[in-house]
Amino acid sequence: MSIQNPNPSGDSNKWWTRVIPNLSPVFRVEGDLERKGEGMYDKMNSIGANEIIIESPFHSAKPEDIGLDQMARVLITYRDRMSDLEKDPRLRYTLIYKNSGTAAGAVYSHPISLLASTPVIPKRVKEELDGAKQYFAYKERCIFCDLAREELRFGSRVILETRSFVAFCPYASKFPFESWILPKRHNCAFQDIRADEIEDMALILSSVLKKLRNIFDGVSFNYFIHSAPNRIPRKNHWHTLGEDFHWHLEIMPRLLRTSGFEWGSGLYILPTSPENAAKYLREA
């Protein structure tokens, strides 16, 4: 798929964004899952989707410099691909992510994002979903809505607030200068984002990336969207999904290498507190 430019001025401007199959896919759409046991273990075929989302026709464009209109087109492309893949009953989850810079795993220098749609819910996402479900069962409130309210009330970890979103450095950050973008309106699935929210998200995402570059010029980073799994009813499990989960985008600057201590313990050592990181980003 591609978003076309209605007024092309040359060969490079015949489209705004384009989606192509990944050149080295881990998951493939064709085939059946063929779930089966192997002793105490389970396995299945790697059915899914791997796609490259080309963010701009211009090779040297940086994500923070593509402009608000183009960033909005990129977000619309994210939304449309997730909506389309949700229709495949074999697929359980679609992850949109970006690798910017070699330290973040980028393979191509052209501005791109990546999509992976899988027949299982990834472990980290499932932990978030289960935690949100437990919090809702205990308090009858969305943990992410509470988180947004608390960060706005406290203020010292907030980077930027717009009409529809808040960007902040989370209290229990895993990496220095980690930041989250959270919608104020409760919504479990990114593909249900409204047109006015897309414009607002283009603004806040571009702004946070520019602030990060102003502090650490040329820094590598990853970002990814955590959204609801494909909303196929699951008995006694995901029936509260619309109430207890809240999609969000996480940005991870690659400023430090993760050591054996972090991998072995699950504890993360930060040289800069989230409060100080947010202050630097606010002022950048």
* Structure confidence at residue 45 (pLDDT): 86
Rounded CA-CA distance 270/284 in Å is 20
Q: What is the CATH number of the domain that holds 35?
A: 3.30.428.10
Neighbours of 232 (CB within 10 A): 10
pTM of the predicted model, to two decimals?
0.91
What is the separation of C-alpha 106 from the centre of its chain, rounded to a whole number of angstroms? 16
pLDDT at 145 over 60: yes
* Structure confidence at residue 258 (pLDDT): 83
Residue 239 per-residue DSSP state: T
pLDDT digits (tens, 9 = 90+) for 156-199: 999 999 999 999 999 989 999 999 999 999 999 999 999 999 99
**Which residues, 6 or more positions from 49, have their beta carbon under 8 angstroms from its beta carbon?**
27, 29, 85, 91, 94, 115, 116, 117
Q: Within 13 A of 1's CA, how many CA atoms are on the CB side?
A: 15
Number of domains in the chain: 1
pLDDT at 127 over 90: yes
Q: Give the residue numbers spanning the domain of 46.
A: 2-283
* Structure confidence at residue 84 (pLDDT): 94
